[in-house]
Chains A and B, each alone.
Chain A
Amino acid sequence: MWAGARRVALRIGGAILVLWAAATVTFFAVRLIPGDPAQAFLGGPGSQASAEALARVRAENGFDLPLWQQYLGYLGRLLRGDLGTSYSLHAPVADVVGEQLLGTLELALWSLVIAWIIALGLALWSVAGGRVAAHVAAGIEMTAAVLPHFWLGSVLILLFATGLGWFPAIATPDARGIILPALTLAIPLAGFLAQLLREALQEAAAQPFVLTARARGESRVGVFARHTLRHAAGPAIGLTGWAFGSLMSGAVVVETIFARPGLGRTLVSAVQVRDVPLVIGLTLVAAAAYLVVSVLSDLAERALNPALRVSRDALVERALEAETPAAPGTFSTPGAFGTSGTSEPSGIFEQPETSGTEPRA
């Protein structure tokens, strides 16, 4: 009971710590970029702002204060939930984020769904199709996982928009416009997920209950669907948090190519025009999204397979084998498990704790 409450408290505390650190790092890093924030405010260095206008903007925004004062001021506003006003768009950061968030979320969710469908399809095929199919599938997965997004996106446009005319090349109000962008993000991710799934499946297929089911006369595919897959999906779902994070970053390329509004594209232009509040705001949103999805995928993983309780170390081991150069240009991190860091005691040089026997999951 208490342990549970402590876990939750630690997790929330950890999340706040993460957000604070992300804001702090961004705040100071953006200051290192050459360029004057007052000029960014007045439309960039090419805008020939007058000396008076520059001075006024500096005073109004506190750019002339020492950096630590600016930082404390920013932090104070952040604590009150005020993300500030974008220098370049002259609109509250919260509004800009709100306007752009939906497009990116929609893209990321569609990509996740499509990636899972492709990954499952490949896994099913390699189980049902025998040795040759397994080898071909493995080759497809590995290649898919390393395709650069911008190349893939251009090829898909060439094939399906200009060539076959099935889908529009750019975002459109109807649902057809999401297909190509989502596929561009999904294909490399599917390659990655499929590899992970395969390792888990091979392990699960060797479990006694699979043999028992087969002995009972269940079909190969039936056993796969009912037993093996359920057993194996856990770790891959656990990775969904990571995948989501990587999709948010990979969205930059896709949003640019397919001319979709979204956070990624906003972020790149915000960095280019030195829009400090917007860069920090977007970083915070991405970090928060990562944290939320991590928790959700954690819970999903447990719910799906409470009995399994694979130890984190076994997961690491398995991932090490399945690990690939993850989805190209997705800005992914190999083996970055979606679950947030464990907070169990460690230290080989300490006495082992008597209470900490709960299996790690």
Chain B
Amino acid sequence: MNTHRRFPRIAVPAALLLGSALALSACAATTPGTSTAPTNDTLVYASGDAEPTCLDPHVGGNYPQSLLASQFLEQLVSQDKNGDIKPWLAKAWTTSPDGLTWTFTVADNVKFSDGTPLDAAAVVRNIEHVKDPETKSSTGYLALAKVEKATATDTNTVTLNLSQPDSALLESLSQPWLAIESPAGLARSQDENCQAPIGTGAFVVDSWKRQDSVQLSRNPHYTTGNGEAALAKISWRFIPDSATRIAALRSGDVQIIDNAQPDTIASSAASDDIKHLDAPRPGSVNRIEFNSSRGPLADERVREALVRGVDVNAGIKTLFFGTATRSYSPLSSVEKLGYSEPKLFDTDVAAAKKLLDDAGWVPGTDGIREKDGQKLTLAFPVSTNQSIPAEQSLFEQIQQQAKGLGIAITITPLDLSSWYEALGKNEYDLVSAPYTKVGPDVLRILYHSAGITPAPSGYFANHAQVNLPALDDLLTRAAETGDQTERASLYEQAQKTILEGYYILPLYDQQNHFLYSGKLKGVGEVNSVGNPLLRGVSFAG
């Protein structure tokens, strides 16, 4: 079939070379490129993420919401490619010596797309909205946990009073889940505001047809960037099937796709028609967490045996075609304070087996190890919504290699609700869960013992169930210190503790690959959480 010839199979070595080339194109500036004149063009964006149930990222607060909201909402601050915080809707800020009072000055002459002005009262209204239990915010709510009160001291000045110092406050405020919306919009019923939130962004929401698309159009009054966007409209399509997404991009039905699969990234690299944008998510790395609260993995030796007895590098190379780089850190590679310790993860099957012997697990008749009549079996519920096929294949490789060590892993693919249910009931030994948050403070959410106690909904973030008072102390101090050097050192110690205790098996960054038509220019600007911003994008002549 000629279609096969058009998209040749990429051999693995070639893909590796490709990987390094991709890494170069990975980062992007936060400031928009040269401004382009407005056109009548419509861009079709194909999203493979779940369709949001609410377009207001204050409500709930997940990654698919942020991707879309970043086109029409903006935050107080942004982050440049070096990870430094830059002004956005706030033009300046100061903090008191005790770190408990923050003062933000709102940018001048910014208007929401409904014509109302952006002022201090509007910012206060947004913070109150996120903190209001009625809003049912989770991501934004957690990020504002230490903010006790927000007051508009004058038209342009907002004062935040904190319960404890928060070294992550600016990073938190750069996230789309804390975007600033028009108070007039928020005054509507939640169902109404969910349909079309009103912001200051380069585009506005026109309509939303469920299971199909959200239609956006250019905001003619946009001023915070380099003026009006070039595109007249964006049709934001929901296309759940990855094979269809890439087909639609190749046939020209759409111009940008997200959640691009590794094999299609590799095969697209051969042609100039399709370009690649790699925007790894900040916060946590993609890892497998070992539930240290129960069963065999409560024993550190068994955790270490599992880590050292399986080799994931070869699998990552083949399955990800060089689009993912192995990580040895709890934090994403975009986090400046990430700390890696590769030597902990050197594969040594003999040492792994010895560790298991020492821990009292001896091989049974079927090859699976036993101790006190118990088999060494581990439950691994996998969310099919969150783990891409390549990752699921990697898990199967781990399963197969673990069998060689005498460890039986049961992989159960589950839909999101069933997966959360399994976690909530503590019916897991291994789990892989994404978590995106700007800054190293994500470690506190994921590894502080406070994260073990489930919320009323059953949700908890510390899946490894790490319960170390010393680590808690490090994370709390790091989150409160105003001294950057001390902060870096505390986070390094914390990461060392997590890695050396074998609580996780780091794999690679949370993958966030986009493919786009070679006809587009200006693609590459991303915000602090890796959402591409389309305000500077246009069709080449």
Which A residues are closer than 8 A to B by beta carbons?
A: 34-36, 39-40, 42-54, 88-91, 96, 99-100, 154, 157-159, 161-163, 165, 168-172, 255-262, 265-266, 272-274
Contacts and interface: CB of A to CB of B under 8 A. Distances in A.
Contacts of A266: 210-211
A96 B53 CA distance: 13
Given A43-B59, A256-B241, A52 B133 contact: yes
Given A47-B136, A259-B237, 5 more contacts: A45-B458, A46-B138, A157-B247, A163-B6, A165-B252
B254 interface: yes
Contact of B416 (A46, A257, A260): A46
Contacts of A273: 416-417
A216 to B, nearest CB: 50
A84 to B, nearest CB: 16
Given A35-B421, A53-B133, A262-B211, A43 B247 contact: no
B194 A46 contact: no
Which 9 pairs across A and B sit closest by C-beta, in order of nearness?
Answer: A45-B420, A51-B456, A261-B211, A259-B239, A48-B138, A163-B3, A169-B247, A169-B248, A261-B212
A36 B418 CA distance: 10
Contact of B53 (A35, A89, A159, A261): A89
Nearest to A163: B3
B251 interface: yes
Interface string B199-239: 00000000001111000000000000000000000000111
A168 B457 contact: no
Contacts of A36: 458
Contact of B459 (A47, A99, A274): A47
Contacts of A261: 209-212
Interface of B: 1-3, 6, 46, 53-54, 59-60, 62, 133-134, 136, 138, 141-142, 191, 194, 209-212, 237-241, 243-244, 247-248, 250-254, 415-418, 420-421, 424, 455-459
Given A39-B457, A47-B457, A154 B243 contact: yes
Contact of B244 (A35, A51, A257): A257
A161 B247 contact: yes
A165 B209 contact: no
15 contacts: A34-B418, A35-B417, A35-B421, A39-B457, A44-B417, A48-B455, A49-B457, A50-B136, A90-B191, A90-B194, A158-B247, A165-B251, A171-B212, A261-B210, A261-B211
A88 B211 contact: no
Contacts of B54: 43
Contact of B251 (A40, A96, A169): A169
A170 B246 CA distance: 11
Contacts of B142: 48
A168 B251 contact: yes
B122 to A, nearest CB: 25
B254 to A, nearest CB: 7
A90 B53 contact: yes
Nearest to B62: A46
A109 B136 CA distance: 42
Contacts of A256: 240-241
A46 B241 CA distance: 23
A49 B456 contact: yes
A170 B210 contact: no
Contacts of A99: 209-210
Nearest to A100: B211
Contacts of A90: 53, 191, 194
Contacts of A43: 53-54, 59-60, 136
Nearest to B384: A272
- Which of A90, A96, A272 counts the most B-chain CB atoms under 10 A from its CB? A272
A100 B421 contact: no
B418 A35 contact: yes
Contacts of B237: 170, 259
A168 B245 CA distance: 11
A258 B417 contact: no
A45 B247 contact: no
Nearest to B44: A170
A262 to B, nearest CB: 7
A53 B132 CA distance: 11
A99 B209 CA distance: 9
Contact of A172 (B60, B134, B210, B253): B253
A61 to B, nearest CB: 15
B414 to A, nearest CB: 10
A17 B418 CA distance: 33
A65 to B, nearest CB: 20
Contact of A161 (B212, B251, B415, B416): B251
B211 A46 contact: no
